[in-house]
Amino acid sequence: MRKPNPKAIPKDLVSILRRPPLPRFRSRLHDERTATLIGTALGVAFAAAFVTGLISHVLQHPPSWLAHHLPTRPSWGYRFTQGLHVASGTAAIPLLLAKLWTVYPRLFAWPPLKSVAHALERLSILVLVAGAIFELVTGLLNSAQWYVWGNQFPFIQTHYRVAWITVGALVVHLGVKAPAIARGYRNPKKELPQAQVRDVEERRDGVSRRAFIATTAVAAGTVTVATVGQSVDSLRPVSVLSPRDIGVGELGVPVNRTAGQAGITEAAVTADWRLQVDGGTRQLSLSRQELAALPQTSATLPIACVEGWSVDAHWQGVRISDLMDMAGIPHDADVRVVSMEENGAYAVMVMEREYVRDPAALLALRLNGQTLTLDHGYPARIIVPNRPGVLQTKWVRRMEAIV
Ligand SMILES: Nc1nc2c(c(=O)[nH]1)N[C@H]1C(S)=C(S)[C@@H](COP(=O)(O)O)O[C@H]1N2
Ligand SMILES: [Mo]
């Protein structure tokens, strides 16, 4: 037998020297399988939010190369993509929290950096986590119309760019973690003999993986169902957390920005309001009475706000295409719409010819069977199929061909 060497450093001391007294985590819920299963649900929610976000973004800010290829149908297209965008983002919040809890012990992995590749991987995770949190927090605050960032940064552009960065980091993450994900999908129980499975199960204590995943799923389902009623009529009664109750509002439609907030006064619209139509072969100047005397068209079209709420409504007014014909504006002209609003973000709007010429695109005078109220855009407002609420300009004063 060899004598123990008194000068030898005990093994556990070596490990203490190498690894500072970082916390150790024993819950088996910090394992690859839990991370993979929750990560999959989170990945699906993020993919849905990203794709629908891109579609919604293009519909609101069409790049010039796409501007004339946007479909005006189905009329509920934007309502659907933006509703799904907000719903999947909402569902992602509890999923992200569960996922972060599952993997956070890795923050304390030792050594912190093993190689250049490992450093890059950790950096990509930093970007991924920061980006994901940023997107979900800003999206949630925006859907609640709580613009805490004021003028610090523009929400739309920032939310859009950070989405690309986050998805880039996600792709790197999926690539790096592919082997771990493959292991995570393998059900270890299936590979063990029956007796050993029982043995493993008996030794288990604490929360089971199944219970943890079920709880996460219930949390994600609950917050989603409790908010999605702002765009899904049938879920309105259970939508106790939605920022908007779409059943409440003048003429059965919520108002996002009131006339008062937009600086539109009753006096300003009733005095001698006339609609100007410029840029064609005939210049038009029509009073509300004259507009109401023109052939009227009806359409059932949703108002779908970027913030996630949406509601179908019945509109009546003058077909925009008819107005343009009256003014001698050619079919291939895009149209600029100018509101009486002096300097809001939505005071001026551009309508590509595809929307201008859609037979359901209206200069609406009536909403749900009644004259528009001032808050809904009286004397006249735009309503067009498959466009974001922000482009449904209220208090229209002038329409002009863009030449
Ligand atoms: N001129 C003008 N039009 C506007 C707005 C505005 O602020 N100014 N808000 C838009 C937004 S964000 C939405 S969602 C719809 C809402 O229409 P509603 O208030 O009739 O429901 O109007 C749009 N039209
Ligand atoms: Mo909106």
Cβ 78 under 6 angstroms from ligand 1: no
User: Is residue 83 over pLDDT 90?
Assistant: yes
Q: Which residues pair with 363 in a beta bridge?
A: 318, 382
Quote the CA–CA distance of 394 and 183 in Å, as a whole number. 56
Quote the CA–CA distance of 382 and 301 in Å, as a whole number. 11
pLDDT band at 8 (very low <50, low <70, confident <90, very high): low
At 351-392, the pLDDT tens digits run 999 999 999 999 999 999 999 999 999 999 999 999 999 999
Give the CATH architecture of domain 252-402: Alpha-Beta Complex (3.90)
Name the DSSP class of 349.
Answer: E
Q: How large a percentage of the chain has pLDDT more than 70?
A: 93
- For residue 253, CA distances in Å to 25, 139, 248, 310 come to 52, 23, 7, 9
**CATH 3.90.420.10 residue ranges for the chain:** 252-402
At 115-158, the pLDDT tens digits run 999 999 999 999 999 999 999 999 999 999 888 888 889 999 99
- The rounded Å distance from CA 155 to ligand 1 centre is 18
Residue ID of nearest Cα to ligand 1 atom 21 = 255
User: Is residue 11 over pLDDT 80?
Assistant: no
Q: Which of 120-129, 246-255, 321-330, 368-377 has the lowest mean pLDDT?
A: 246-255
- The rounded Å distance from CA 164 to ligand 1 centre is 28
Residue whose C-alpha is closest to residue 90's, from 47, 137, 51: 137
For residue 244, what pLDDT is reported? 81
Residue ID of nearest Cα to ligand 1 atom 12 = 390
User: Is residue 202 over pLDDT 60?
Assistant: no
For residue 352, what pLDDT is reported? 98
Q: 394, 395, 397: which to mutate for ligand 1, most atoms within 8 A of CB?
A: 394
For residue 207, what pLDDT is reported? 87
- The rounded Å distance from CA 55 to ligand 2 centre is 16
The helix/strand/coil state of 395 is coil
For residue 214, what pLDDT is reported? 97
Quote the CA–CA distance of 45 and 167 in Å, as a whole number. 12
At 276-316, the pLDDT tens digits run 999 999 999 999 999 999 999 999 999 999 999 999 999 99
For residue 239, what pLDDT is reported? 87
Cβ 341 under 6 angstroms from ligand 1: yes
Residue ID of nearest Cα to ligand 1 atom 1 = 394
**Phi, psi dihedral angles at 273 (to 5 degrees):** -65, 135
The helix/strand/coil state of 248 is coil
Residues with CB under 5 A from ligand 2 (ion): 256, 305, 389-390
Cβ 254 under 6 angstroms from ligand 1: yes
At 49-71, the pLDDT tens digits run 999 999 999 999 999 999 999 99
Cβ 79 under 6 angstroms from ligand 1: no
- The rounded Å distance from CA 375 to ligand 1 centre is 9
Residue ID of nearest Cα to ligand 1 atom 10 = 390
Q: How large a percentage of the chain has pLDDT more than 90?
A: 77
For residue 49, what pLDDT is reported? 98
At 187-201, the pLDDT tens digits run 877 777 776 666 565
For residue 246, what pLDDT is reported? 76
